[in-house]
Amino acid sequence: MGSQRERTRPTSHQGLDHPALCALLLALGACGGTEQRGAKVSTAATAFEEALSKGDRAELCAALAPQTRKEVEDSAKKACVDAITAQELPAGGPVRGVDVHGRQGRAVPASDTLFLSQFPDGWKIVAAGRKPHPGQPYECSVKGG
């Protein structure tokens, strides 16, 4: 009678503990799918365009990313609500398309392109007021530093 090898079954996944797996799954679930993020980008861009067409300066400033709002204020040496109209933002109209890549998004209204980033309190405009330069990078009248 030879020696028998003892066989053991692992009781957990080797190299990955359950709390870490749970945290990873929760984080991924909170991110939402591309379609869900695209809808949120579209909603934020639409709200920005509506505020622009109504002339609602407070809503426009609230829709801007913090660094973009700071850049608007610093360049005009005024509060955002007083400086935003000097930016001569074109009314872009209805959002026709959206691209989302991670925490960055692009919304394309009829006559502008809005660039957005995801922040803890939602999607915010980081650049707007695109001036067309075919074959060249975008030049935006409102952008963060």
What type of residue sits at position 100? V
Whether 85 maps to a domain, the answer reads: yes
The DSSP code for 94 is S
Express each pLDDT in 47-88 by its tens digit. Answer: 999 999 999 999 999 999 999 999 999 999 999 999 998 888
Express each pLDDT in 128-145 by its tens digit. Answer: 987 666 777 667 778 775
| Residue 47 belongs to domain spanning | 34-143
Whether 59 maps to a domain, the answer reads: yes
Which of 106, 112, 107, 97 lies closest to 53 in space, CA to CA? 112
Q: How far apart are CA 90 and CA 106, in angstroms?
A: 16
Give the list of residues 6+ apart from residue 70 with CB closer than 8 angstroms, or none.
144, 145
Whether 7 maps to a domain, the answer reads: no
Whether 124 maps to a domain, the answer reads: yes
Residue 106 confidence (pLDDT) above 80: yes
46, containing H or E segment: helix 34-54
